[in-house]
Structure 1
Amino acid sequence: MDDGRLNSLTGEFVEPIREQVFRSQRFGELVRHARVLFLLAGLLNALFLFSDWRFEGQMHFFEAIYARGAVIAVSLACAAVVARAMSFRAVQRIIIVWQWITAVGVAVLVQSRSDIALFVVLLLPAIYYLVVPVSFRWSVASGVLCSLLMLVGYLGVPPQSDTALGLALAVLMLNAALILVLVRNNRQSRLEWVATQDQKAAREVLSQSERLLERTFMAVPIPLLITELESGRILRYNAAGVSYFGGEPHEFGIQSVWQIYADLGARRVFLERLIRDGSVTNFETKIRLGNGELRSVLVAATFIEIDSEACLVSGVIDITDRLAAEQKIRYAASHDALTGLTNRAAFQAQLDATIREARTRPGAIFLLLVDLDGLKDVNDTLGHAAGDALLVETARRLERLAGERAVVARLGGDEFVILLRGAISLEEAQALSQAIIADFRHPLVYQDRSLSTKASIGLAACPNADYAPGELMKDADLALYAAKQEGRNRAVLYAPAMRRAMNERISLNRSLANAVAGNEITPYYQPKVSLITGQLMGFEALMRWKRSTTQVLQPQSFLTAFEDPELALLMGDTMLRQVARDVRKWLDQGYPVGRVAVNLSPAQFTHRDLANQILELLAAERVTPSHFDVEITETVFLGRNSDFVAPILGQLHSAGMNLALDDFGTGYAALTHLKQLPIDTIKIDRSFVQDTESDSFDAAIVCTVIELGKNLGMCVVAEGVETVGQARFLRERGCEVAQGFLYARPMPAAATAEFLARETRDTAAARVCDLWGR
C-alpha cells in the first residue's frame, strides 16, 4: 500500500482534505470515545475522592479535595457538552480544556507524594498521548504540558528529592517514546482506514458490476441462457429467453438445454467444437420452442465458472425469418416475378451447367426458343392485365407440355425457352414443338373474352459437348428469326445456312454503313407522267447503292438491311437529304419538278420522332414539304411499332406532303388503311399492269382499283408502264398518271436535270399524240 500520502513526522495525511475526510468519517466514534473518557475520568476521580478522606487532618488535604472535585466536575461537564458537538474541532477544543484542567488538578494532587503519586506522574502523560483522541500537535502539546505540570507538582514541594534529575530525564524519555508511539498509532490507524476504504470501494465496484451485469443480462434483447456444462441443466434465463421460449423451461418439462436441440447430430457437433475451441460463434442449428415450434437459430457460447462448476453462457439469435427472406430473395433472383418460371440469368447458368455436364454424361441437348405472337395486340386492346394473364397461361401451358424432363424459363417480354436434356431424340423435340404450336391455337378466356394468340418456335440441337452455350442460344434465335420470316405460327429447326445468312446480313449492314459514310447511297429518279395532258407530274426517288463506278445495286439486293432500324433511318436520312438538295438545285434552275416521291421503310417508323426529323431536314435544305410525296407500303402497318405510323403520317400530311399507298392490292388490309389515313394517291403495282392487255383477271383488278380511287377522290398512279398499249388501256379506264420504262428508266440526278431541260409543251403533246395513235 502506498504510504507516501502520510506525513512521516506526525503519521497524519499530508493532504488536509484527506485528513479532514478521515476525521469526519470517524467523528461518531470520536464523540463516543471522548464521552467514555470523560465519564471514566469522573468515575475514577470520584473513587479516589473517597480514598483521599483517609488523609484528613494532614497537610494538603483540602487542596487535594478541591482539586479532585474540580477534575470530577470538569469531566462530567465535558461529557455532557461533547454530546452536542458538531465537528472534530469542537470536540477537540472540549478535550483540550479537559486535559489542561485535569493536568492542573492532578499536579496539585501529586504534591502529596503519596504511594501512587509517582505512578500518576508517569501515567497521565501516557494517557494524554495514547488515549485522548486529538490531533498530533495537540496531543504533543497537551502531553508535554501535562509532563511539566506533573514534575512541578511532584518536585516543587520541599523536601527536594535526590532523584529529581533522574525523574525529569525519565519523563523526557517517556515523552519521546510516547511521541514515537503516537506517530506509529496515527500511521497505523490511517493505513487501516485507507485499506478499509479501498475494500469498500472494491466491494462497491463489485456490487455495481454485479448489478450492471444482472441488468444487462436481463435487458439484452436476445435470449441468453446459463447452463451447466455436463448435465446441460438450465440455471438462468433472461427475460428475452423466457419470452422467446414461451415461458420457464420447467413449464414444458425441459430440464436440460440439450433437450431443445431438434437435431442430435448438430448437438454433438456443437459440443465437439466447444470443447476444441473453448467457445462457439454463429453455430447454425434448429431448436424446438416450448410450444413445439421448430426455429432456425445461430448459437454462440463460451465457458464460465460458477462455484467451481464449469458452465456455459449461450446466446441465441433467431434467423428463421431471415432465412425465409433470403430464400425469397434467391427465388426472386432466379425466377420471373410474373410467371414463376426460371428467369434469364438463372436459365443461362443452368444451360452452362448442362453443357458442362454433357462432357462427362453424354446426352442430347435441345433448345426451343418460343416467341408469343400477338401479345402486343392484347396489351393494346384489353390492357396489360390481360397481357399478364396471357403470359401466365403461356407459362402454365409450356410447363404442362414440356413435363418434368425439361427446364422452362421466361427470357423476358414474350420470349420463353425450353431446355431438353437426356435421352431424347430430335423427333421428340420436334414433336414437342408441334404440340406447342397446336396447343396455342386454343384461345385463352379472360374476363369472358377470348384471347387468341400464336407461337413461333426456333429449335436448335447442341452438336457437341464443347459447344458454347451462347452459340446454342444464337442458333435457336436464328431458327426463331426464320420462323417469323416464314410467316410465324410455326417451328423451324436450325440449319448452318441460317448462320451463314446472318453473317452475310451483318457483313451487308457493315458495308452499307460504310456506304452511307462514303456517299455511295444515291437517289435515281423515274418520272411520273399525266395520261391526260402528257405533262411531267413529278418523280419517284429510288434508292441505289453505287458500289463502284460500274456496279449500281437496286434495293432488292440489300432489302434485309432495312430491318435494322438504325441503319434504315441512316440510309433514309442520307437519301432524303440528297433528294432535297437535288430538288432545291432544280428549282433554282427553274425546272418544273412537280412532286418528288420518297419511300419510307417500316423500320424507320420505330422512331417516334421521324416526322420532326424529316421536316427539320427539309427546312435545313430550304425546300418546302409541298414538293414531296411520301410513299409507304402496307407492311408498315404490320410491325411492332404500327401504332406510330398514323401519327407520323398525319403530321407529315399536315405539313403539306401527299401520302401515297404503294403496291396497292398486294398487301393485307389496304381498304382499312384507305379509310383511316389521309391517303392522296393509290399506286397500282406493276405486277397487275404488265398483263392488262392479255390477262383479263389482271385487267379486272386494275379497273377495280382505278374505279375505287376515283370514287374516293384519290389520284391513281400505275407503275411499270412499258408499252403504249398499256398506257392507252389505263387512260381509257380513267387512270390519271403513269410511271414506267415507257417514259424513262430510273436515272441519276445529272441525267434527271437533262430530262427536265428537255421537258417542253411539245414533249407533252407528243406523249398525248402517241396515246391517240397520231
Structure 2
Amino acid sequence: MNRILLDQARELLQHLLQNPLVGIYLIQDGRFVYVNPCLAERFGYRQEEVCGKLGPADLIDGEPADYLKEGRQSLQGRHKDGRWVRMEFFRTATSFNGRPAAFGMAIDNSERHAAEQAVKEQLSFTSQLIEAIPNPLFYKDEAGRYLGCNKAFERFIGAPRETLLGKSVYDISPPDLAERYFSADQALFDKGGTQTYEASVEDAGGKRMDVMFYKATFRKAGKLGGLVGVIADITERKRSEAAVWHSANYDPLTDLPNRRLFLSLLQGALNAAPGGDAPLTVFFIDLDRFKEVNDTLGHERGDLLLIEAARRLELAVGQEGRVARLGGDEFTVIFSGRHTRPKLDELAARIIARMSEPFALGCDTAYVSASIGMTSCPDDARSLQQLLINADQAMYHAKALGRNRYCHFAPAMLEAVGERLQMGNDLRAAITAGQLQVHYQPVVELASGRIVGAEALVRWHHASRGWVSPARFIPVAEELGLINAIGERVFREAAGTALTLHRCAGLEAFQISVNVSPRQFVTPDALEGWLEHMRAIGLPGRCIAIEITEGLLLDERPEVARRLLEFRNADVEILLDDFGTGYSSMAYLKRFDIDSLKIDQSFVADMAGNGSDRAIVEAMIAMSRKLGLYVVAEGIETEAQRKVLCEAGCDFGQGYLFSAPVPRQRLLDMMRRPANGSER
C-alpha cells in the first residue's frame, strides 16, 4: 500500500516538474540546485544552463536573504535577452543533503500584472481627468450618498471631500433645495438614462448663481451603481438670454413694455378667465402736439419728453395697471379686473392732469396734453384685436373733440370708421373718374374792393351724398396718401385758369393760390413737375402762389427748404395759411422768406365784438408791416369785420361778404366784367 502511494507521489511530482505552466526550483548555497524546463524557459535559458551555474541573484530582482524565506512574493526576473519578466514566487524552507535549502514554485503573472497596471493607469488617468474638469463633479451611490467628487466641487460647497463622503444632499444643502435635488435623483434612479435641469443656488462664498445640473446613472456589477453629476455655471448665459429677451420686449427709450410684450400681456390678461374674456380695460393714450415739440426743439428733447411722459404715466397708474409704449408718442395701459365708469374716469383724469404739467427739457420747457380712448372687456369686445380697434377709435374721437380729454368707446365710433373707409373707397373712384372739381374764392383788395386774386379750392360732389365738405374728405385723402393726386389735379386746373386770366387785358397780375399739403413736400416727385409745367405753358411765376401751413416751417428735412427755395426763385409767392393757430416764430418767417400771412378766420369771426381777438389781429397786421409782409384775412362775412380790418391796415380779404367759392367759368365771368362790388 505504501509503495502504491509512493509511486503515485512520484508520478505527481514528475507531472509538476514537467508542467509547462508552473516553474519548479530548489535553491541551496545561493545556487539553483534544480529548475524544471518551464522555469528555465521563462528566463530564456536551457535547463542545464541554470542548474548549478546560476543563482537567484543572477535571475531575480530581490534581496538574497529573502530567497530562503517561506511565503509568497511577486518579483521581476531578468530574461536572458535583458527584458524583465514578472513572476509570482511561492517558497517553503527545507533541507537538502542535510543543509538548508528552499523549494518553491514560480508562476508567470506578467499578463495579469500588465492588466493590473493598465487598470491602475486608467484609474489614475480617470482621476486626473476628473480633477482637471473645471466644473464641479460628484458621484453618488444608489441611496443618494456621496461617493466622491473633484476639487471644483469641493470649492463649490466649501468643504473637503473627506467630510462629504457618505453624506446626502440633506447634509450639505438648504432644506428646500435638498428636497428638490433628492426628488430629482430618485426620478433619475427610477427611469435611468440622463437628466438635466436648472437651479438658482449660492456657492460657498454666498454668491448667487444660476447653474445647470447634468446627471447620468451608471451600472456596477450588472446593476444600478449610482449616478454621476456635473454642475455648469450658466449665470452669464442666463444674463445674456435675459438681456436679449428684455431687448426684444421692452422699449429701449422708456424701458416700458413694447408692442410685442403689450400684446402678450393683454392676451394673458384675457386668458385669465376660463372663457378667455377676463374683465379688463385698455387705455390708448396719444400725446397731443408732440410732433410740434419734436420738430421745434429737436429729437433729443423729444426723447426726453417721452421718457418723462412714461415716468408720469407709471406714477399716475401706480400698481393698478400695466403701462406700455406702442411706439412714437402712443402709450397703452391695461387695467385688469372690472372697474366702474367713475373709477375709469378718475384714472383717465389723473393721467391727463399729469401730462398737462410743463415738461422741463434741459433749458427748454414744453407743453403737451394727452388724448385717451378706453374700452373694456367683455362689455365692448371679447377679443384682443377688437379691443385695440375700439381703444384706438375712442382715442381718435377724443382728439376730434378737441384733444386733452378722454372718451369711452361707443359702437357709433365703429360706424364712423366704416363710413370713413367707404369714403376712402369713393374718393379713390372719384379721383380716377375725374369727379373732383376746382372752385375759386376771390381775394379782394380791401381798400378798393377790387378782386386781385383767388384761392383754388377742391370740391367733391358725391353721386349719392351730394356735396362733401373738404373738412371731411381732405383728412381721408391725407391718411390714404391720395392728397398728392388731388394736389396735382388742383394745381394743373388752377394753372390753366391763371393762364387764361393772365392773357386778359388788365389781368396780367392776377394771382391764384394753391394749397399744398406738408405731405406733398416730403413725397418724392410730388411737386417736381410744377415749375416745368408753368414754363411749358408760358405762365409767369407771379401768377401762382402756394399756401402752406405753419407746421411745414417746423419740418427740418432738407427737401422742404429746397423746394420752398425753388418756388421763390421762380417768383412763386409763399403764403402762410391759418397764421396764429400754430407754433411759428419770427425766425421761421425770415428764414423761409414768406411773402404773405393769412389770418385764420377763427380770429376774424369775433373780432368786431371781442376786444381780445381785435387786439390779436391788429398785432398780427402791425408785425407783418414791420416784416414787409402783406396780410390776407380769411372768413370775412360782415361789413363790420371788413371795416375793422381796413382800419387796422389789412391789405386783402376773402370771405362770403365778397363771394363764395365759385366754379371756373363763374370766376372768368366775374373778372371779364367791370368791377362793381361783391359777388355774394
Cα 1:267–1:566 change in 2 (3 A) is same
Change (3 A) 1:587 1:468: same
> Deviation string for 1:719-767 (max 9, x for gaps)?
6789999999988987665657798764545666x649x84xxx5xx43
In the superposition, relative to structure 1, how do residues 316 and 576 fare at CA in structure 2: closer, same or farther (>3 Å)?
same
1:409 counterpart residue number = 324
CA distance in 2, matches of 1:308, 1:617: 96
Aligned equivalents of 2:272, 2:594: Cα separation in 1: 60
RMSD of aligned alpha carbons: 5.2
Q: Distance in 1 between matches of 2:190 and 2:344?
A: 57
Among 369, 391, 403, which residue is 1:476 paired with? 391
1:421 alignment counterpart: 336
Paired letter, 2:189: I
Between the aligned partners of 2:616 and 2:364, the Cα distance in structure 1 is 38
Q: Which position in structure 2 is the counterpart of 1:36?
A: 49
Q: 1:286 to 1:587 in 2, by over 3 A?
A: closer
Instruction: Indicate the residue corresponding to 2:160 in structure 1.
Output: 248
Q: Is 1:464 the counterpart of 2:374 in the alignment?
A: no
Q: What residue is the counterpart of 2:135 in the other structure?
A: 222
Which residue number corresponds to residue 282 of structure 1?
Answer: 196
CA distance, structure 2, for counterparts of residue 684 and residue 387 of structure 1 = 29
Cα deviation code 1:111-161 (max 9, x no counterpart): xxxxxxxxxxxxxxxxxxxxxxxxxxxxxxxxxxxxxxxxxxxxxxxxxxx
Distance 1:362 1:524, change over 3 A: closer
Q: Greater CA deviation, 362-371 or 412-421?
A: 362-371
Contact between 2:498 and 2:544, CA under 8 Å: does it hold in 1? no
> Among 527, 537, 545, which residue is 1:629 paired with?
545
1:76-475 aligned at under 5 Å gives the runs 213-230=126-143, 232-237=145-150, 240-242=152-154, 244-245=156-157, 248-250=160-162, 255-256=166-167, 258=169, 259-262=171-174, 263-285=177-199, 289-291=203-205, 295=209, 296-305=211-220, 310-358=225-273, 364-373=279-288, 375-376=290-291, 387-443=302-358, 452-464=367-379, 467-475=382-390
- Paired residues of 2:436 and 2:459 also in contact (CA < 8 A): yes
SS at match of 2:319: coil
Q: Taking structure 1 as reference, are residues 257 and 541 closer, same or farther at Cα in structure 2, changes over 3 Å only?
A: same
Shift in Å, 1:559: 4.0
Report if the CA contact (8 A) 2:217-2:224 is conserved. Answer: no
Matched, 1:595 2:595: no
Q: Percent identity?
A: 30
What is the TM-score of this pair, normalised by structure 1? 0.61
Q: TM-score, normalised by structure 2?
A: 0.68
Once the two structures are TM-superposed, the CA of residue 468 in structure 1 deviates from its matched residue by: 1.8
Letter in 1 for 2:545: D
Q: Does 1:520 align with 2:520?
A: no
C-alpha separation in 1, matches of 2:581 and 2:207:
73
Deviations 1:80-138 (A, max 9, x none): xxxxx999xxxxxxxxxxxxxxxxxxxxxxxxxxxxxxxxxxxxxxxxxxxxxxxxxxx
The structure where strand makes up a greater share of residues is: 2
Q: Does 1:679 align with 2:599?
A: no
Q: Which runs of 5+ in 2 are unaligned?
A: 1-39, 54-79, 83-107
For 1:632, the aligned partner's letter is I
* CA deviation string 1:424-449 (max 9, x = no partner): 21101101111222233444556576
1:664 and 1:268 map into 2 onto residues whose CA distance is 79
Cα gap change, 1:580 to 1:240, in 2 (>3 Å): farther
Deviation of residue 206 (structure 1)?
Answer: 6.0
Q: 2:342 & 2:465 partners in 1: Cα distance? A: 50
Call closer, same or farther: CA 1:709–1:376 in 2, change over 3 Å: closer
Q: Which amino acid aligns with 2:138?
A: L
- How far apart in 1 are the matches of 2:110 and 2:537? 103
| Residue 480 to residue 726, structure 1, CA distance change in 2 (3 Å) | closer
Q: Is the 8 A contact 1:443 1:451 kept in 2?
A: yes
**1:497 aligned residue:** 412
Cα distance, 1:350 vs structure 2: 2.3
**Counterparts of 1:626 and 1:340, CA distance in 2:** 53
C-alpha displacement of 1:600: 1.7
Match of 1:566 among 481, 486, 497: 481
CA distance in 2, matches of 1:493, 1:688: 32
* Structure 1: stretches of 5+ with no match in the other structure: 1-25, 41-84, 88-194
Decide whether aligned partners of structure 1 residues 487 and 636 sit closer, same or farther in structure 2, where only a CA change above 3 A counts. farther
Would you say the 8 A contact 1:298–1:319 is kept in 2? Answer: no
**1:675 offset after TM fit, Å?**
5.2
The question of whether the paired residues in 2 share the 8 Å contact of 1:222 and 1:316 is answered with yes
Q: One-letter code of the match for 1:235? A: G
Whether 1:540 aligns to 2:455 is: yes
| Residue identity opposite 2:135 in structure 1 | I
Q: For residues 400 and 691 of structure 1, what CA distance do their matches in structure 2 show?
A: 42
- Partner Cα distance (2:152, 2:609) in 1: 100
2:99 maps to what in 1? Answer: none
Distance in 2 (alpha carbons) for counterparts of 1:538 and 1:592: 11
Amino acid at match of 1:282: T
Which digits, 9 at most, give the CA deviation of each residue in 1:221-242, with x for residues without a partner? 43333444336233342x5445
Partners in 2 of 1:551 and 1:86 — Cα distance? Answer: 123
Q: Distance in 1 between matches of 2:615 and 2:240?
A: 72
Q: Distance in 2 between matches of 1:532 and 1:320?
A: 83
Distance 1:414 1:686, change over 3 A: closer
3-state DSSP class of the match of 2:344? Answer: helix
Whether 1:579 and 2:592 are equivalent positions in the alignment is no
Change (3 A) 1:618 1:196: farther
Q: How far 1:472 moved relative to its partner?
A: 1.9
Give yes or no for contact 1:355–1:465 (8 Å, CA) kept in 2: no
Report if aligned partners of 1:522, 1:578 keep a CA contact under 8 Å in 2: no
More deviation, 530-539/624-633: 530-539
Letter in structure 1 aligned against 2:147: I
